[in-house]
Amino acid sequence: MTPDHGDLSRLLSGQRSTMVTIIVVALATDAAVMIRSVRLAGIPLSPTLFLAAALLAASTVLVVLDPGVPIRRSSALLVAAAGPVATLIVRDQVTAQLDARTSMWTAYTAGITLALLVLRGRNLLAWAGTVATWLAVVAAAGGAATAFVQGVVPLVNVVIAAAFAAIMRPTLRSLHELEAESTTRAANRARLDAQKAERKRQLDRLDLRARPMLERIATAVPFQPEEREECRLLEAELRDELRAPQLSTSEVLAAARAARRRGVEVMLLDDGGLETASLALRDLVRDIAVQELDNTDRGHVTVRVLPPGRRNLATVLVDAEDRNRRTEIDCAGTVTATLDRSAGAQAAEVPLPSHIY
Query: 207 in a domain, yes or no?
Result: no
Write the DSSP string, 179-228.
Answer: HHHHHHHHHHHHHHHHHHHHHHHHHHHHHHHHHHHHHHHHTTPPPPHHHH
Residues 6+ apart with CB under 8 A from 24: none
Contact (Cβ atoms closer than 8 angstroms) between residue 173 and residue 4:
yes
**pLDDT tens-place string over residues 280-306:** 999 999 999 999 999 998 899 999 999
Cα angle for residues 238, 225, 242 (degrees, 5° grid): 5
Average pLDDT over residues 57-75: 89
Query: 306 in a domain, yes or no?
Result: yes
Mind spelling out the 3-state secondary structure of 57-88?
Answer: HHHHHHHHHCCCCCCCHHHHHHHHHHHHHHHH
Tell me if the bond preceding 245 is cis, omega within 30° of 0.
no
Average pLDDT over residues 6-34: 76
**pLDDT tens-place string over residues 116-136:** 998 888 889 999 999 999 899
Query: 215 in a domain, yes or no?
Result: no
Domain boundary among 126, 151, 182: 182
**Percentage of the chain lying above the pLDDT 90 cut:** 33
Domain boundary among 182, 216, 245: 182
- Which residue, 322, 319, 329, is CA-closest to 354? 329
**pLDDT tens-place string over residues 213-229:** 777 777 878 878 887 88
Contact (Cβ atoms closer than 8 angstroms) between residue 299 and residue 320:
yes
Position with higher pLDDT, 3 vs 197: 197
Q: Are residues 337 and 261 in the same domain?
A: yes
Burial of 288 (0-12, 13-18, 19+ CB in 10 A): buried
Residues 6+ apart with CB under 8 A from 216: 223, 227
Query: 194 in a domain, yes or no?
Result: no
Query: 305 in a domain, yes or no?
Result: yes
Indicate the pTM of the whole model. 0.54
Position with higher pLDDT, 198 vs 48: 48
DSSP code at position 104: -
Helices (H) and strands (E) in the chain, counts: 12, 6
Contact (Cβ atoms closer than 8 angstroms) between residue 78 and residue 68:
no
CB neighbours of residue 37 within 10 Å: 21
Q: Are residues 76 and 159 in the same domain?
A: yes
**pLDDT tens-place string over residues 171-211:** 777 877 888 889 899 999 999 999 898 788 878 877 777 77
Q: Kindly tell me if the per-residue pLDDT of 101 is higher than 80.
A: no
Q: Are residues 164 and 243 in the same domain?
A: no
Q: Are residues 25 and 87 in the same domain?
A: yes
Q: Are residues 236 and 325 in the same domain?
A: yes
Q: Are residues 243 and 145 in the same domain?
A: no
Q: Are residues 143 and 68 in the same domain?
A: yes
Q: Are residues 20 and 139 in the same domain?
A: yes
Average pLDDT over residues 59-82: 90
Confidence of residue 344 (pLDDT cuts 50, 70, 90): very low
Q: What's the number of domains the chain is made of?
A: 2
pLDDT at res. 3 = 47
Burial 71-81, CB ≥16 within 10 A → b, else e: beeebbebbbb
Confidence of residue 8 (pLDDT cuts 50, 70, 90): low
Q: Are residues 266 and 122 in the same domain?
A: no
Q: Kindly tell me if the per-residue pLDDT of 114 is higher than 80.
A: yes
Query: 190 in a domain, yes or no?
Result: no
Query: 210 in a domain, yes or no?
Result: no
Mean of the per-residue pLDDT values of the chain:
83
Query: 168 in a domain, yes or no?
Result: yes
**pLDDT tens-place string over residues 323-334:** 788 999 999 989
Q: Are residues 303 and 175 in the same domain?
A: no
- Measured distance CA(350)–CA(334) in Å, rounded: 5
Q: Kindly tell me if the per-residue pLDDT of 97 is higher than 60.
A: yes
Q: Are residues 51 and 164 in the same domain?
A: yes
Q: Kindly tell me if the per-residue pLDDT of 168 is higher than 90.
A: no
Domain boundary among 150, 182, 214: 182
Q: Are residues 156 and 20 in the same domain?
A: yes
Whole domain around residue 319: which residue ranges?
A: 225-350
- Cα-Cα end-to-end distance for the chain: 49
pLDDT at res. 80 = 93
**Percentage of the chain lying above the pLDDT 70 cut:** 91
